[in-house]
Amino acid sequence: MNAESNATPPAANVAPSDFIRDIVAQDLAAGRHPEGIVTRFPPEPNGYLHIGHAKSICLNFGIALENGGRCHLRMDDTNPAKEDIEYVESITADVKWLISGWADSVLGLKPKGAKPAAEGGDFRIRPVPGAENTSSAAELEPFFASDYLEQLYAYAERLIEKGKAYVCDLSPKETDEYRGAPDKPGKNSPFRDRSVAENLDLFRRMRAGEFPDGARTLRAKIDMAAPNVWLRDPLLYRIRHIDHHHAGSGWCVYPLYDYAHCLSDYLEGVTHSVCTLEFEVHRPLYEWLLGALDLPRVLPRQYEFAKLHLAYTIVSKRKLLQLVNEKVVSGWDDPRMPTLAGIRRRGVPASALRRFVTGVGVTKFDSLTELAVYENAVREELNASAHRRFGVLRPLKIILVNLAPDEVVECSAGNLPSDPAAGSRTLALTREVYIESEDFAEVPPPKYFRLKPGGEVRLKYAGIIKCEEIVKDASGAIAEIRCTFDRDTRTGQPGADRKVKGTIHWVSASLAVEAEVRLYDRLFTVPEPGDAEDFLKVLNPNSLEILTAKLEPCLSGATPGQSFQFERLGYFTPDAKDSAAGRPVFNRTITLKDTWAK
RNA sequence: UGCCCGAUGGUGUAAUGGUAGCACAGCAGAUUCUGACUCUGCUUGUUAAGGUUCGAGUCCUUAUCGGGCAGCCA
């Protein structure tokens, strides 16, 4: 690769643009946000982040980065029954990994334990500026919606005082019946017209723990006949006598998403609250709640985009969990999983994932992205950076009959042929070497460039060999191939120019290290496994193949986080869990493109 | 069928009333000590019908198709 093509490709160079970024630019131009742009990534800590979240993360952090703003990482943790600190930790790690080296400086975190403070008769919580993230002595943590329980409660009382919320005694079943249907208006709750004083008293007693779960709710007083069902007096608070993984044991009333989300955005000073399309119908409620409270600061605005759908993959939390529970995969971070943890373990660089999700764009069209787009992004990234190595997956022994048993021919091989600055290593050609079984054919198909009876092939970086004799074992299987090595064609020698059609990789049999290598393929056999009657019935039975490979010696020192291209085979990375010092287990991240196989 | 949203080559996306472009995929060729990379060329598109306009992928109307919404989940 020359210097020019080594440069960052246009796709990663050009500032992305989309309808949301356009809105941000317009708002900025209109002077709407003198304090700067603030976005947020607000997962609920009830599962692992997956490739779909990567799109949202790159959008939110990207907008902040491009506009000198900030992006808060916030746990949307208002349903303690489903959440766990395990997820808080995995989410935080995954986000940091994905933005590392790109948007770290705009990651909004806050001092551990910080809560909103009173500010101008209102509440507000501010992040520690990104630049101070690393230098600050104070311990930082993400934002948590559950840190706002006290302020949210205060806002709820204000809503009651304004006559815009009421305590409702309807049972869950009754509430459902009163709501009507999309094409049928609902009807007013019999508790809708309680006095402010009674509502206040009841709500305070709800908080005090006087009523059991499900006995009462706090509801917004909007319009039970609204065409948008989310405006039919939506529930704001429910009673749950349960401790919270982050907030502790002080609460038995917890706010619902619609109420907590808009106000959390407001408390943090979020300017642009970006979410996926299914929340489109919630937007009027988002705006109603913020409007109903007559808040003094600029209000956040919600915008929606289409979530990522990638062919041959599933992201449903329930289904992913099923794969884990039924041991289809080894865990949430199995390299075949679409989780960020799995993708990372597979060896995909964060930069490749970013390149991919940025490339698919941001629209309101519900699309299905081909896997090839993802694979291309991974290859682009790895091709430019992964050092080249030789590894033989399915060894076939070659005896170079004209080499002495103890003879060593030293061969210099560039780490990154496109970039001499990346250095080189020395390969030792010995009398016995392994080549890929696929690289020999006793009965070659048409246009076969590799080794065949009587044929020649170049051992890359070494020289040309000629197949002289096939040695078979008692069962008739090929045991080894006896070849002659043409010393005149040694790389670097004048005779090296002699043309042979094929060039193959190889390793010295005596010097090679053995390593377990795991080859992965897509988990499903159909482009939309989520639409299958039973997604477990469209599993790819060959999604994992485990081999014992022969690798060039220096690979024994490989460590997780490194990526290598095993020439002609693909990109590999040491497995972060199962590798031992000096004895790595390799995961194949992705194959090289193979136009011959087709 | 109540409300909301969407529709540009095979796929994804750009064009903000003025030359339909880019990427991926595909095909053909060049190059190659990786059948990779790189390079060159090619194929393929504005859902439909009306309207506004000098001019419409873009604005309006209707139709068609697709998606979302009726948790005390987020």
Question: What's the rounded Cα separation, in Å, for the pair A430 and A414?
Answer: 19
Spatial distance between the Cα atoms of A529 and A123, rounded to a whole number of angstroms? 46
Is A302 near strand B, with its CB below 7 A from some atom of it?
no
| Closest to A551 measured CA to CA, from A387, A428, A388, A391 | A391
Whether the pLDDT of residue A460 is over 90: the answer is yes
- pLDDT at position A121 is 84
For the record, the structure tokens of A371 come out as 């896997």
- Say yes or no to pLDDT of A135 above 60: no
Q: What is the mean pLDDT of residues A27-55?
A: 97
Residue A9 has pLDDT above 70, yes or no: no
Q: How far is the CA of A5 from the C1' of B19 (A)?
A: 30
Query: Which residues are registered as beta bridge partners of A520?
Result: A544
How do residues A172-200 score in pLDDT, each as one tens digit?
Answer: 999 999 999 999 999 999 999 999 999 99
d(CA A81, CA A44): 12
Rounded to a whole number, what is the largest CA-CA distance in chain A? 102
Residue A587 — pLDDT band, cuts 50, 70, 90? Answer: very high
pLDDT of A1 reads 31
Determine the pLDDT at residue A16. 80
Q: Nearest nt to A446, CA vs C1'? A: B35
In this complex, the answer to whether residue A183 has its CB under 7 A from any atom of chain B, a nucleic strand, is: yes
Output the distance from A595 CA to B44 C1' rounded to whole Å.
22
Beta-bridged to residue A111, according to DSSP, are A140
pLDDT at A7 over 60: no
* pLDDT tens by residue, A362-392: 999 999 999 999 999 999 999 999 999 999 9
The reported pLDDT for the residue numbered A219 is 98
Backbone angles phi, psi at A418, to 5 degrees: -75, -15
Instruction: Give the pairing type, strands A478-486 and A463-472.
Output: antiparallel
Place of tokens 């990522």: A308
Q: How long is the CA A598 to C1' B27 vector, in angstroms?
A: 13
Percentage of the residues of chain A whose pLDDT score is greater than 90: 94
Residue A360 (CA) to nucleotide B15 (C1'), in angstroms, measures 17
Mean pLDDT, to the nearest integer, of A389-396? 98
Residues A413 and A408: their CA atoms lie apart, in Å, by: 15
Mean pLDDT of A219-235: 97
- Residue A184 CA, chain-centre distance (Å), reads 41
Strand extents, DSSP E, A350-506? 387-389, 391-392, 395-400, 409-414, 424-429, 432-436, 456-459, 463-472, 478-486, 503-504
Q: Quick one: average pLDDT of A508-524? A: 98
Q: What is the mean pLDDT of chain A?
A: 95
Q: Is the CB of A5 under 7 A from strand B?
A: yes
Give the 3-state secondary structure of residue A192: coil
Q: Give the distance, in angstroms, between the CA of residue A536 and the centroid of all CA atoms in the same chain.
A: 22
**Cα distance between residue A330 and residue A513, in whole Å:** 26
Q: Is the CB of A368 under 7 A from strand B?
A: yes
* A57, A388, A538 from A312: Cα distances, Å: 22, 29, 10
**A532-555 residues labelled b (16+ CB within 10 A) or e (exposed):** eeebeebbbeebbeeeebbbbebb
List the structure tokens of A20. Answer: 């949301």
Q: How far is CA A360 from CA A8, A100, A278, A379, in A?
A: 18, 21, 19, 16
pTM of the model: 0.95
Q: In the structure encoding, which two tokens stand for residue A189, read together?
A: 């709750």
Query: Where are the extended beta strands (E) located within A78-181?
Result: 107-108, 110-111, 117-119, 122-124, 140-141, 143-144, 165-168
CA distances from A402 to A265, A451, A459, A492, A500 (A): 75, 18, 15, 20, 20
Q: List pLDDT tens digits, range A159-177.
A: 999 999 999 999 999 999 9
pLDDT in tens, A289-299: 999 999 999 99
Residue A11 has pLDDT above 50, yes or no: no
pLDDT per residue over A471-507, tens digit each?
999 999 999 999 999 999 999 999 999 999 999 999 9
Examine the pLDDT at A131 and tell me if it is beyond 80.
no
Domains detected in chain A:
150-256 (3.90.800.10), 387-511 (2.40.240.10)
pLDDT category at A597 given cuts 50, 70, 90 is confident
Asked whether residue A130 carries a pLDDT value surpassing 60, the answer given is: no
Summarize the confidence of residues A525-550 as an average pLDDT.
96
Evaluated on CA atoms A209, A210, A215, A217, the torsion sign reads: negative
- Per-residue pLDDT reduced to its tens digit, A248-281: 999 999 999 999 999 999 999 999 999 999 999 9
Question: Cβ atoms within 10 A of the Cβ of A21, count?
Answer: 18
pLDDT tens-place string over residues A315-371? 999 999 999 999 999 999 999 999 999 999 999 999 999 999 999 999 999 999 999
Task: Please check whether strand B approaches the CB of A15 to within 7 Å.
Answer: no
Q: Is the CB of A452 under 7 A from strand B?
A: no
Q: Is the pLDDT of residue A516 over 80?
A: yes
Find which nucleotide's C1' atom is closest to A46's CA.
Answer: B74
Which residue's alpha carbon is at the shortest distance from the C1' of B25?
A372
Interatomic CA distance for residues A107 and A579, integer angstroms: 32
Is the minimum distance from the CB of A363 to strand B below 7 Å?
yes
The residue whose two tokens read 């992705």 is A590
pLDDT at A134 over 90: no
Distance of alpha carbon A413 from alpha carbon A423, whole angstroms: 9
